[in-house]
Amino acid sequence: MGKSNILSRYTYGRFNPEHEITIGCEFMAKNISIKDRNIRIQIWDTAGQEAFRSITRSYYKNSTCAFIVYDITSRKTFDNINIWLNECKDMCYKDVLICLVGNKCDLEGRRAVSYEEGEKFAADNNLLFFETSAKDGNNISEIFTETATNLVDKIESGQLNLNATDSGIKIGKYPNSGEAEQKENNKQKKNCC
């Protein structure tokens, strides 16, 4: 589907043509600025394969935002969205913001799911929606800035209660430097199973 490639395109500007199956879960982080606020986005890249489902479930807890990714050239991945949506609703933060992502939009000639179908599913289920390409970078940074902006708006309007113990968003200081970010990514890699 492209989850890992979406993240490696976003954090490192890289695309891998091979499918290197994610084992369990990987972690990435990036510092961005939204409305003059320094935001540190922490992202867990979960394995899509059924065999790892029990491991990946434990990473949903307290997540404030989730991306459900399907492949626009694969009808089967679109048909599975409901399964992932139910998992997110069951296991993430109760007001989780969910963004539906139709990836591989560079493969227009092999499209099996129309833009309108994705858009309608998202509208019917109150999700954000984007089509992306990890290969050419189309809309990749937009999915993260748009979701982060949406969350900042909810914080500012009081819709998101940051004092709730199960909220994954914390306000505090974090060094806004690439060095700190790299250190944390390396540390997570070392600790990885």
Ligand X SMILES: Nc1nc2c(ncn2[C@@H]2O[C@H](COP(=O)(O)OP(=O)(O)OP(=O)(O)O)[C@@H](O)[C@H]2O)c(=O)[nH]1
Collapsing DSSP to helix, strand or coil, 143 comes out as: helix
Q: Are 14 and 8 in contact (CB under 8 A)?
A: yes
- Which residue, 63, 74, 65, is CA-closest to 118? 74
Residue 42 C-beta: closest distance to Mg ion, Å: 17
Q: How many CB atoms lie within 10 A of CB 44?
A: 16
Q: x/- binding map, residues 7-46, to Mg ion, per CB under 5 A?
A: ---------------x------------------------
Give pairs for 91-94: CB < 8 Å, separation 24+: 91/57, 91/60, 91/61, 92/60, 92/61, 92/62, 92/63, 92/64, 92/66, 93/62, 93/63, 93/64, 93/166, 93/167, 93/168, 94/166
- Cβ proximity to ligand X: between 64 and 77 the closer is 77
- Cβ proximity to Mg ion: between 23 and 164 the closer is 23
Task: Determine the interface stretch with ligand X among 12-20, 30-38, 83-91, 166-174 (rule: CB under 6 A).
Answer: 12-20
> Which residues ranging from 64 to 103 are in contact with ligand X (CB under 6 A)?
103
Residue 33 C-beta: closest distance to Mg ion, Å: 28
- Cβ proximity to ligand X: between 30 and 135 the closer is 135
Q: Residue 90 is encoded by which pair of tokens?
A: 């069951």
- Measured CA to CA in angstroms, residue 140 lies from 3, 56, 104, 163, 186 at distances of 11, 23, 11, 31, 23
Task: Determine the interface stretch with ligand X among 14-22, 55-63, 150-158, 180-188 (rule: CB under 6 A).
Answer: 14-22
Does 118 participate in binding ligand X (rule CB under 6 A)? no
**Which one of Mg ion, ligand X, none is in contact with 77 (Cβ closer than 5 to 8 A by kind)?**
none
Does 104 participate in binding ligand X (rule CB under 6 A)? yes
**Which one of ligand X, Mg ion, none is in contact with 107 (Cβ closer than 5 to 8 A by kind)?**
ligand X
Collapsing DSSP to helix, strand or coil, 155 comes out as: helix
Count of residues binding ligand X (CB under 6 A)? 22
Interface positions with Mg ion (CB under 5 A): 3-4, 22
